[in-house]
Structure 1
Amino acid sequence: MRHLPLVVASLLSTLPAAAAPLVFDCPRVIDIAQTTHTSDRSWEQVTDSELPPATLTTVTVYTEHPSDGGNLVPNQTERHDETEVTLWRLPPDSAPYWMACVYRQSRILLAKPIPLQARQCRLTTTLPGQQAGDVVFFVCE
């Protein structure tokens, strides 16, 4: 991980001068209150306090609001010494693309629209074995 700041600085230095990169900072951990809708009233819902909170797994890009589906397939993935960089190119569209933070042990996504002027987004993660594939950052430009 000692070279990670250099990799991040290197990636950010490749951004065009006119484009202001927008870094989306997903919460690393979220608490979730679950409920169920069972028609059989003989079951009692009990919360398992031993389950860990939901942790950030990855970030993904959608062609429309995530509730409507439409996962956008990445255009490119590159492996470096300690990181993996996934790139999505965003062709111009009248509707915004969306990004979503994806969490382990959760069906909840945290989503935001990507500004219309953005032409690409990059997800940088650590490689498995470095820190379990942690998200380093997600930036759109």
Structure 2
Amino acid sequence: MRIVLCILSLVLAAGLGNGSPGNASEWECPQQIETEQTLESVPGSWAAGKSQYPSTLKIVYIYDGPPEQLAVLAASNKGSNDNFYLYTLDKENPRQYWIACVYRNTHLMLSKPLPKGLKSCKVTHDNKIYCE
């Protein structure tokens, strides 16, 4: 029992237990963005106003190509009890994979292409991205 606990402690200390491989590249979306939104028109008897809620990071998506092409990847481990989502990538894919950071209280998102040649990405529940 003592050996098992010691091994588990070493695994967690190395970052392997939280979906962050030791030799992977890490990306992180900004946790909050500042936005300015306006209404095109105000319906009927309604009054326009501004919400005081911040635009904080909600979720990270991985796309096969630019996000405007709407090709969101499904996680390979969907439905498992893992504390991360695993995305298997095709290193020979002629299109580039992209990450997209989606925020609460806005329709805006941030995105950027990932380097070519990656074989997988893990997105943790705290929205950290580890790819190799």
Please state which band the TM-score falls in when normalised by the shorter chain: 0.7 to 0.9
Structure 2 match to 1:79: 81
Shift of 1:124: 0.8
Q: Given the superposition, is the C-alpha separation of residues 8 and 86 from structure 1 closer, same or farther in structure 2, using an over 3 Å criterion? A: farther
The count of aligned residue pairs is 118
Paired amino acid for 2:99: M
Shift of 1:51: 2.0
Aligned to 1:34: 37
Structure ID, larger Rg: 2
Q: Superposition pairs for residues 61-80 of structure 1, below 5 Å?
A: 61-77=62-78, 78-80=80-82
Segments of 5+ residues of structure 1 without an aligned counterpart are 16-20, 126-133
Moved beyond 6 Å, runs of 4+: none
Give CA deviations for 1:25-78 in whole Å, capped at 9, x if unaligned. 11101111113334x8xxxx9551x42111111111111100121111111144
Residues 35, 65 of structure 1: CA spacing in aligned structure 2 closer, same or farther, 3 A cutoff? same
Do residues 140 (structure 1) and 123 (structure 2) align? no
TM-score computed with the length of structure 1 as normaliser: 0.70
Root-mean-square deviation (Å): 2.8
- Structure 2 length-normalised TM: 0.74
- The aligned residue for residue 4 of structure 2 is none
Identity of aligned residues (%): 27
Return the alpha-carbon distance in structure 2 between the equivalents of residues 97 and 57 of structure 1. 20
Task: Say if 1:34 and 1:115 are closer, same or farther in 2 by CA, change over 3 A.
Answer: same
Taking structure 1 as reference, are residues 7 and 69 closer, same or farther at Cα in structure 2, changes over 3 Å only? farther
Q: Which has the higher helix share?
A: 2
The aligned counterpart of 1:110 is 110
